[in-house]
């Protein structure tokens, strides 16, 4: 039986704003399938975003949804989670939103290890504003603000998240949609800050300027240049040059922030021994 | 009789927040407001509330909006540079009608300025700091007791009108210790946001058909709705329709402007027979009162108008004052900001003369007395 997306999509809010060939719709559907498989009640989810194309996603979904200011989804989400630690708080962000203007919030959310699921839709460009280079635009690529080729070094988002203290880090792509479902499920289930980078394509403002003849070419690029982490780790460096690993890249057990805060509250509220 | 306490203004602010039912604080250390955060860090865990020291001022403002959307009465506290950083998200709270309270303990500026000295030069930033047209309520207590009661009132106004409320007092009021009475629970009114009574599927978060302040559902309580910083329709979703944007912006402003009688509070000290009035708030209001007493002792009919609500501005009250005095003296710790509002309301009916100081020290009663004599 085919999956019933309508149970999660708000009536009258489609069509979405994304361009033809944009891969965000694929990821959107994957997210809905993942949440559904976990049997989470819609009332118990808050989906928070900042600004950019990806950040328009929450508006289409029948959860508690919050479309905030540029780069600030994580601190808004942190407020929600601290106020209601019993609920699921998820963030949808983009490469510019999460790692440029929101970079400080990103690393500190990772450090705190608060139980929020962060999905970074990395399309390597500022799409909504028309194709300016972002912290993940590949070297040499053309962008409206790098008309002679990008000279800025790029962020590796999973490495950044790991270095900052995130306790679960993964990477999926829009091409590998079935695998993405599983990654989103695991990211949600993980207790702590989980960062899932999702490789996406923006044919309109990135692909067309950078020798991708069609949106399909961009999806095929994901297929041809990615390797599951298990295979990636076994190969010598010369075989993995230019390719990126996918899957669960890193995880560790670490105290979750709301739990630690709850323990602090209990400690403070406990009557002191030896006193009347 | 409540509890008598010897408190700093900053501590009284935090006490007032707890009295009003605040259970969520997010902040960032900054002089001279840090004691508010420190007090909350000590006391919120005792009542099971949430305290967060965020990575920056922007994040702290964002976090309290999140906390409030989840149903908690939320507070942040800051000063000068931090207040500038909070502005974008304050506008978000205004447009999205999320109740919250922002304390600005004013220091000298611009930039890092005089972090340990008092200032009143953020007063226009309180009104115009964030971009776009937006409602503003800003309270300006001048005594430690008042900081307590005005903080309670700030939460009440934030909840009642679903809007961010600023409490702006200067470093002297923030750090001065005075004896205050913390009243017993129930003595001061405590208000809560209007709540929806309809079924979730009928809920419109920005419904303007039954009044200017729509009922507010909290997240996770069955009313799943959308909150966006884009101009939105009554259902909360983005709109580009000119007519809706215009009427909704007008409603946001009207929430405050049409309720000025409820929101505006001030102290009127001996102005009924006054020939010269002093218009001042915060520490300058304290000096103003001393100057009026000194003038009266010399037989000069002076009075003081001391606003506790600076935004919305008490237009009608200042206009009335300008009709009965020869002049209004406006001492402020800036190079002249609130005097423009006084001049606007006085409409040339009386002299309006300022005393300005930005060196990190307060304006003295003697300075004000000299100006009273000059204006008389």
Chain B residue with CA closest to A107: the answer is B55
Cα–Cα distance measured from residue A131 to residue B255, given in angstroms and rounded to the nearest whole number: 40
Paired tokens of B209: 């058909």
Chain A residue with CA closest to B60: the answer is A75
| pLDDT tens for each residue of B59-116 | 999 999 999 999 999 999 999 999 999 999 999 999 999 999 999 999 998 999 999 9
* Site of tokens 């009021």: B173
Inter-chain touch B238–A104, beta carbons under 8 Å: no
| pLDDT tens for each residue of B273-284 | 999 999 999 999
Domains of chain B (ranges plus CATH)?
3-182 (3.40.50.970), 265-375 (3.40.50.920)
| pLDDT tens for each residue of B143-154 | 999 999 999 999
- Minimal C-alpha gap between A185 and chain B (Å): 21
- Minimal C-alpha gap between A246 and chain B (Å): 30
- Among the partner residues B45, B65, B88, nearest to A79 by beta-carbon distance: B65
ipTM beyond cut 0.90: yes
| pLDDT tens for each residue of B19-67 | 999 999 999 999 999 999 999 999 999 999 999 999 999 999 999 999 9
Strands B3-8 and B266-269, by their bridges, are unpaired
Instruction: From residue B219, give the alpha-carbon distance in Å to each of A6, B253, B312.
Output: 22, 25, 30
pLDDT at A273: 73
- Among the partner residues B56, B62, B226, nearest to A79 by beta-carbon distance: B62
Contact B135, B255 (CB under 8 A): yes
- Confidence bin at A271 (pLDDT 50/70/90): confident
Axis crossing angle, helix A73-83 with helix B57-69, rounded to the nearest 10 = 50
Q: Where are the domains of chain A?
A: 5-269
pLDDT at B282: 98
Q: Say if residue A269's pLDDT is above 70.
A: yes
* Site of tokens 């909350």: B40
Inter-chain touch B66–A268, beta carbons under 8 Å: no
Inter-chain touch A59–B238, beta carbons under 8 Å: yes
pLDDT at A274: 65
pLDDT at A276: 52
- Minimal C-alpha gap between B173 and chain A (Å): 30
The strand pairing partners of B277, in sequence order, are B303, B328
Cα–Cα distance measured from residue A57 to residue A67, given in angstroms and rounded to the nearest whole number: 9
pLDDT at B245: 95
CA atoms lying within 13 Å on the CB side of residue B162:
25
Q: Say if residue A275's pLDDT is above 60.
A: no
Which chain A residues are closer than 8 Å to B55 by Cβ? Answer: 75, 104-105, 107-108
Cα–Cα distance measured from residue B279 to residue A91, given in angstroms and rounded to the nearest whole number: 49
Instruction: From residue B358, give the alpha-carbon distance in Å to each of A266, B122, B332, B335.
Output: 47, 12, 9, 7
| pLDDT tens for each residue of A61-109 | 999 999 999 999 999 999 999 999 999 999 999 999 999 999 999 999 9
Residue A101 per-residue DSSP state? I
User: Using CB atoms and an 8 Å cut-off, which of residues 80-99 of chain B contact chain A?
Assistant: 88-89, 92
Segment B106-112 long-range contacts (CB within 8 Å, at least 24 positions apart): B106/B79, B106/B80, B106/B168, B106/B169, B106/B170, B106/B171, B106/B282, B106/B333, B107/B31, B107/B32, B107/B79, B107/B80, B107/B170, B107/B171, B108/B80, B108/B333, B108/B358, B108/B359, B108/B360, B109/B80, B109/B81, B111/B81, B112/B80, B112/B81
Q: Which of A75, A88, A107, A265 to mutate to test the interface with B (most CBs of B within 10 A)?
A: A75
- Mean pLDDT, to the nearest integer, of B360-373? 98
Q: Is B342 exposed, middle or buried (0-12, 13-18, 19+ CB in 10 A)?
A: buried
SS3 A247: strand
pLDDT at B334: 98
Contact residues for A223 (Cβ-Cβ < 8 A; gap 6+): A173, A175, A176
CA atoms lying within 13 Å on the CB side of residue A261:
23
Compute how many other C-beta atoms are within 10 angstroms of the C-beta atom of residue B244.
16
H or E stretch covering A79:
helix A73-83
pLDDT at A110: 98
**Hey, what CATH topology would domain A5-269 get?**
Rossmann fold (3.40.50)
User: Using CB atoms and an 8 Å cut-off, which of residues 28-67 of chain B contact chain A?
Assistant: 45-46, 48, 50, 52, 54-56, 58-60, 62-67
Which chain B residues are closer than 8 Å to A58 by Cβ? Answer: 226
Cα–Cα distance measured from residue B225 to residue B180, given in angstroms and rounded to the nearest whole number: 43
Q: Say if residue A32's pLDDT is above 70.
A: yes
**Per this entry, what is the length of chain B?**
376
Inter-chain touch B220–A87, beta carbons under 8 Å: yes
Which chain B residues are closer than 8 Å to A74 by Cβ? Answer: 59
The DSSP line for B157-172 is: HHHHHTSEEEEEEEHH
| pLDDT tens for each residue of B156-214 | 999 999 999 999 999 999 999 999 999 999 999 999 999 999 999 999 999 999 999 99
Inter-chain touch A79–B64, beta carbons under 8 Å: yes
Sign for the CA dihedral angle at B333, B336, B337, B343 comes to positive
SS3 A47: strand
Inter-chain touch A84–B219, beta carbons under 8 Å: yes
Inter-chain touch A72–B50, beta carbons under 8 Å: no
- Mean pLDDT, to the nearest integer, of B224-231? 98
- Mean pLDDT, to the nearest integer, of A169-173? 98
Residue ranges in chain B assigned as alpha helix (H): 9-19, 34-43, 57-69, 80-96, 123-128, 144-161, 171-175, 242-257, 260-263, 282-297, 315-324, 338-346, 365-375
Cα–Cα distance measured from residue B167 to residue B147, given in angstroms and rounded to the nearest whole number: 8
- Minimal C-alpha gap between A104 and chain B (Å): 7
Strands B22-27 and A244-251, by their bridges, are unpaired
pLDDT at B1: 79
pLDDT at A1: 65
Nearest to A82 by CA among B63, B22, B218, B76: B63
CA–centroid distance for B2 within its chain? 25
Q: Is the peptide bond before B312 cis (omega within 30 degrees of 0)?
A: yes
Inter-chain touch B55–A104, beta carbons under 8 Å: yes
Cα–Cα distance measured from residue A91 to residue B290, given in angstroms and rounded to the nearest whole number: 55
| pLDDT tens for each residue of A227-255 | 999 999 999 999 999 999 999 999 999 99
Which chain A residues are closer than 8 Å to B64 by Cβ? Answer: 79
Cα–Cα distance measured from residue B290 to residue B14, given in angstroms and rounded to the nearest whole number: 28
CA atoms lying within 13 Å on the CB side of residue B78:
27
Q: Is B3 on the interface with A (CB under 8 A)?
A: no
Sign for the CA dihedral angle at B323, B325, B326, B328 comes to negative
Q: Is the peptide bond before B110 cis (omega within 30 degrees of 0)?
A: yes
Paired tokens of B192: 């809560």
pLDDT at B20: 98
Inter-chain touch A80–B66, beta carbons under 8 Å: yes
- Confidence bin at B10 (pLDDT 50/70/90): very high
Residues of A with CB under 8 A from a CB of B: 10, 13, 42-44, 46, 48, 58-59, 62-69, 72, 74-84, 87, 104-105, 107-108, 261, 264-265, 268-269
Nearest to B307 by CA among B291, B321, B296: B321
Cα–Cα distance measured from residue A74 to residue A70, given in angstroms and rounded to the nearest whole number: 10
């Amino acid at each position: 039986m085919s999956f019933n997306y309508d149970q999660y999509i708000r009536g009258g809010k489609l069509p979405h704003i994304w361009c033809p060939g944009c891969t965000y719709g694929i990821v959107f559907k994957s997210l809905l399938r993942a949440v559904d498989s976990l049997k989470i009640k819609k009332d118990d989810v808050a989906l928070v975003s900042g600004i950019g194309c990806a950040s328009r996603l929450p508006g289409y979904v029948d959860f508690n949804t919050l479309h905030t200011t540029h780069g600030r989804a994580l601190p808004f989400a942190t407020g929600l989670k601290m106020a209601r630690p019993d609920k699921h708080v998820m963030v949808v962000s983009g490469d510019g939103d999460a790692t440029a203007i929101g970079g400080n919030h990103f690393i500190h959310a990772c450090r705190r290890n608060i139980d929020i699921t962060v999905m970074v839709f990395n399309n390597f460009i500022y799409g909504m504003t028309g194709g300016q280079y972002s912290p993940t635009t590949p070297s040499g690529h053309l962008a409206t603000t790098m008309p002679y080729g990008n000279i800025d070094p790029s962020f590796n988002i999973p490495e950044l998240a790991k270095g900052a203290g995130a306790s679960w880090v993964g990477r999926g792509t829009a091409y590998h949609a079935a695998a993405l479902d599983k990654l989103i499920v695991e990211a949600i289930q993980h207790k702590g800050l989980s960062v899932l980078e999702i490789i996406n394509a923006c044919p309109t403002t990135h692909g067309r300027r950078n020798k991708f003849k069609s949106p399909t070419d961009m999806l095929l690029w994901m297929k041809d240049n990615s390797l599951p982490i298990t295979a990636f780790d076994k190969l010598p460096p010369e075989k993995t040059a230019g390719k990126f690993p996918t899957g669960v890249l890193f995880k560790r057990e670490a105290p979750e922030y709301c739990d630690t805060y709850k323990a602090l509250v209990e400690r403070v509220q406990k009557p002191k021994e030896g006193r009347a | 009789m409540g509890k008598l306490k010897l408190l700093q203004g900053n501590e009284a602010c935090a006490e007032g927040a707890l009295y009003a039912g605040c259970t969520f604080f997010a902040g960032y250390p900054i002089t001279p407001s840090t004691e508010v955060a420190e007090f909350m860090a000590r006391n919120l865990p005792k009542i099971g509330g949430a305290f967060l020291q965020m990575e920056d001022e922007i994040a702290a403002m964002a976090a309290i909006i999140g906390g409030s959307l989840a149903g908690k009465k939320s507070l942040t506290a800051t000063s000068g540079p931090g207040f500038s950083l909070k502005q974008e998200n304050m506008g978000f709270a205004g447009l999205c009608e999320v109740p919250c309270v922002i304390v600005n303990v004013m220091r000298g500026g611009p930039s890092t300025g005089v972090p340990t000295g008092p200032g009143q030069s953020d007063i226009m930033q309180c009104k115009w700091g964030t971009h776009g047209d937006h409602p503003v309520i800003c309270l300006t207590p001048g005594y430690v007791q008042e900081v307590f009661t005005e903080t309670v009132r700030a939460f009440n106004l934030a909840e009642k009108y679903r809007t961010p409320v600023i409490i702006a007092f200067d470093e002297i009021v923030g750090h001065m210790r005075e004896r205050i009475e913390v009243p017993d629970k129930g003595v001061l009114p405590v208000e809560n946001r209007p709540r929806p009574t309809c079924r979730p599927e009928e809920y419109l978060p920005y419904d303007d058909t039954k009044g200017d302040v729509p009922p507010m559902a909290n997240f996770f309580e069955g009313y799943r709705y959308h909150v966006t910083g884009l101009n939105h329709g009554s259902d909360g979703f983005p709109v580009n329709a000119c007519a809706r944007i215009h009427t909704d912006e007008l409603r946001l402003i009207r929430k405050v402007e049409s309720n000025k009688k409820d929101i505006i509070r001030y102290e009127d000290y001996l102005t009924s027979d006054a020939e010269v009035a002093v218009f001042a708030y915060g520490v300058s209001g304290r000096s103003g009162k001393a100057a009026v007493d000194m003038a009266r002792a010399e037989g000069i009919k002076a009075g003081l108008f001391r606003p506790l609500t600076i935004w919305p501005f008490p237009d009608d009250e200042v206009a009335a004052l300008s009709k009965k005095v020869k002049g209004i003296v406006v001492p402020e710790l800036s190079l002249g900001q609130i005097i423009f509002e006084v001049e606007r309301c006085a409409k040339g009916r009386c002299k309006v003369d300022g005393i300005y100081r930005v060196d990190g020290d307060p304006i003295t009663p003697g300075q004000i007395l000299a100006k009273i004599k000059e204006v008389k």
